[in-house]
A = this chain, B = another copy of it.
């Protein structure tokens, strides 16, 4: 027996080494990606070389990911501790997903991705869906075929969704999303019937009506990111056109942000949003499980839950305004001289006119943008919706959900980049993240009775450490976000946490 155990141990150790190699190379891909958006010289040749180099590295990573020796080690590794068992399970899922795709299909997907992006940019500029339609048809076909290879006989949308949100299904979304829809449609009508939040006069906004020195904003945002717990020993904070969090892994997390001179909220809440992502990354297990699949973030949705928890649950809360106002008075004494906490909180949470653009939507209308895309994606994957019908359906749904008219496809069906890379099933993770955040924050409040007072005082360590233990360090050990939520909150995802949060918040803010 003991020799068998040793043999098993050796097999698993070898597996861990191979997985760590893949992770190491991925960390360099992360570095190259970060560098490209922040540091790389602007010349054409630098961009060309980087694109070639990144493609070669991706090829090397792919080859290592489908190596048959890796497959054997996965099949023969039988560790006994739960986190190790989860580690092998995650490795197996990834191996099977990669190894079942023939290399010509993988190559075709890579080509389509590059071509798709370029054609999407062109189509959006020309406001012409017909330019984009052929590539989207190719993508629908390729993703369906790929899903059939990965999980034969399974619903293609579910297989694709699983890649971004492990364990999630269309059936589960159909239990959750309609509850959200009913709630927000009702709330939106009530809110739009009001002129402004009770704390503000009509049109008043203390964070977006003014001129705020960008360097002062950057200094304040950095101070707040550090106060929330971002660790500069394990990461960097830079500026880029589109904020993101990336880098090389838990010990080297690189986030970026951007600032608008006339809108304090964009840079500030944007930085806090990225800090949420960064804290998740910095909180991953790097002791025993460094470079292992199980230490990685659970899913896109759970990642988004961490950014939205810090952005919405913390930064947009009344308690945070209590903490923030004196800081703003220090940084911008003139602008905030006579401002009250209630005015600050209301200004940060004001509901704007419904936007036809998802990334400009507020938290009340945002879910409807996601519902629309999710319905269309499910229809596409199941063959119930034809690509050519998308613009018409899109515009009808936008009218129905948000009562807005789409002027042209660049502000409609062509607005998002995701479909140009065949990412069907990615959109739902944005809304799921918002919902997970509510439920996790509810549990945090129960576990930390002084949480709101702590936030008001600028004491963020208790929440951060609670998240570290309950979410960050757990990584990918759960088979689904529902399982993770059971561990963290005692129950699977329950749409009520989200609808309750929205209803209470906006009822109070707008005196509905």
Least distance between A12 CB and chain B CB atoms (Å): 19
- Measured CB to CB, the nearest residue on chain B to A51 is B24
**Contact A56/B236 with A32-B28, A48-B251, A252-B46 known, Cβ cut-off 8 Å:** no
The number of times this chain is found in the oligomer is 2
- Measured CB to CB, the nearest residue on chain B to A248 is B49
Chain-B contact segment, one of A33-41, A102-110, A202-210, A264-272: A33-41
Least distance between A208 CB and chain B CB atoms (Å): 33
Top 8 nearest A-B pairs (CB, nearest first) are: A45-B251, A43-B233, A24-B53, A46-B252, A24-B56, A46-B251, A43-B234, A21-B56
Whether A6 is near chain B, meaning CB under 8 Å from some CB there, is no
Given A28-B32, A45-B290, A46-B234, 19 other A-B contacts at CB below 8 A? A24-B55, A24-B56, A24-B57, A25-B57, A27-B53, A28-B28, A31-B32, A31-B35, A41-B232, A41-B233, A42-B233, A43-B251, A45-B234, A45-B252, A46-B251, A46-B252, A52-B291, A53-B248, A60-B60
Interface residues of A in 44-81 (CB under 8 A from B): 44-46, 48-50, 52-53, 55-57, 60
- A20: which B residues are within 8 A, CB to CB? 52
Whether A286 is near chain B, meaning CB under 8 Å from some CB there, is yes
- A50: which B residues are within 8 A, CB to CB? 248, 252
Whether A231 is near chain B, meaning CB under 8 Å from some CB there, is yes
Interface residues on A, range: 35 or more
Least distance between A146 CB and chain B CB atoms (Å): 26
Least distance between A237 CB and chain B CB atoms (Å): 10
Least distance between A358 CB and chain B CB atoms (Å): 33
Whether A250 is near chain B, meaning CB under 8 Å from some CB there, is yes
Judge whether B251 and A56 touch: CB under 8 Å. no
What are 23 A-B interface contacts by the 8 Å CB criterion? A20-B52, A21-B56, A24-B52, A24-B53, A24-B56, A25-B53, A25-B56, A25-B57, A28-B28, A31-B31, A31-B32, A35-B35, A40-B252, A41-B233, A41-B234, A41-B251, A41-B252, A43-B234, A45-B251, A46-B233, A46-B248, A49-B252, A50-B248
Least distance between A100 CB and chain B CB atoms (Å): 24
What CA separation (Å) do A414 and B199 show in the bound complex?
72
**Contact A231/B53 with A28-B32, A35-B35, A251-B48 known, Cβ cut-off 8 Å:** no
- A31: which B residues are within 8 A, CB to CB? 31-32, 35
Whether A249 is near chain B, meaning CB under 8 Å from some CB there, is yes
Whether A235 is near chain B, meaning CB under 8 Å from some CB there, is yes
Judge whether B43 and A57 touch: CB under 8 Å. no
Least distance between A147 CB and chain B CB atoms (Å): 31
What CA separation (Å) do A286 and B49 show in the bound complex?
10
What CA separation (Å) do A234 and B43 show in the bound complex?
6
- A231: which B residues are within 8 A, CB to CB? 43
A11-34 contact mask (Cβ, 8 Å, vs B): 1 or 0:
000000000110011011001100
- A48: which B residues are within 8 A, CB to CB? 251
- A46: which B residues are within 8 A, CB to CB? 233-234, 248, 251-252
- A236: which B residues are within 8 A, CB to CB? 39, 41
What CA separation (Å) do A40 and B52 show in the bound complex?
24
- A55: which B residues are within 8 A, CB to CB? 24
What CA separation (Å) do A248 and B41 show in the bound complex?
11
Least distance between A29 CB and chain B CB atoms (Å): 9
What CA separation (Å) do A28 and B236 show in the bound complex?
20
- Measured CB to CB, the nearest residue on chain B to A48 is B251
- A290: which B residues are within 8 A, CB to CB? 45, 49
What CA separation (Å) do A40 and B25 show in the bound complex?
16
- Measured CB to CB, the nearest residue on chain B to A252 is B46
- Measured CB to CB, the nearest residue on chain B to A253 is B41
Interface residues of A in 251-293 (CB under 8 A from B): 251-252, 286, 290-291
- A25: which B residues are within 8 A, CB to CB? 53, 56-57, 60
Interface residues of A in 215-244 (CB under 8 A from B): 231-236
Judge whether A41 and B249 touch: CB under 8 Å. no
- A40: which B residues are within 8 A, CB to CB? 252
- A56: which B residues are within 8 A, CB to CB? 21, 24-25
Interface residues of A in 386-407 (CB under 8 A from B): none
What CA separation (Å) do A35 and B249 show in the bound complex?
15
